[in-house]
Amino acid sequence: MRLAPSLLRAAALVAFTALPALAQTREPIGRSTPTLTPAIRVGNLVFASGALPDTRTAGADTTIQGQTTSALTNIKANLEAAGTTIDNAVKCTVFLVDGADFRGMNEAYAKFWPSAPPARTTVVVKALVVPNAKLEIECMAAMPATWTARPQPWAFLRPPRWSKM
């Protein structure tokens, strides 16, 4: 069976115009490097990269409570840069170097979500990439109900911002 060229063109046009609806726009948030983006928004979700506490500044609080507060403050800033808030966090993962720090981490963690905290997984790991860091926290958050995505047709065809292409 042979299809008429006009029918083939129509089918190709329908398929090509449907592509943007199928593709999700991946929008980097914050200052990206070739190996890390602080957060990425896809649809109405924001994925914040793992945040480490400030361990390099002189006088930085090295207790587990201080490091938890520092890491969550970084997460909060990344979520706000994406247009949402820490109150919209739906899932967090905490990587602890020492399981004995679980109680102290919870004390500081609860100050960010006094009621209805996000779902959470806590994992004890052997080490983190930053010396003296006692934990790393990553979170996923929803965009506010009033937020609507900016249409970006064909955005999936553009290379990432950091690309030299």
Reported as a single tens digit per residue, the pLDDT across 57-94 is 767 888 999 999 999 999 999 999 999 999 999 999 99
pLDDT category, 164, cuts 50, 70, 90? very low
Q: What are phi and psi of 16, to 5 degrees?
A: -70, -40
Mean pLDDT along residues 47-66: 86
Strand order in the sheet with 39-42: 26-29, 39-42, 45-51, 135-142, 89-96, 119-124
143 or 31: whose pLDDT is higher? 143
Partners of 140 in the beta sheet?
47, 91
34 or 89: whose pLDDT is higher? 89
Mean pLDDT along residues 121-150: 88
Per-residue pLDDT tens digits for 92-130: 999 999 999 999 999 999 999 988 999 999 999 999 998
pLDDT category, 10, cuts 50, 70, 90? low
Reported as type and span, the H/E element at residue 71 is: helix 64-82
Contact 28, 82 (CB under 8 A): no
Residues 6+ apart with CB under 8 A from 137: 50, 51, 68, 71, 72, 75, 92, 93, 94, 95
Mean pLDDT along residues 27-54: 86
Topology of 27-143 in CATH?
60s Ribosomal Protein L30; Chain: A; (3.30.1330)
Residues 6+ apart with CB under 8 A from 93: 50, 120, 121, 122, 123, 137, 138, 139
pLDDT category, 22, cuts 50, 70, 90? very low
Contact 137, 95 (CB under 8 A): yes
- C-alpha 152: how far from chain center: 20
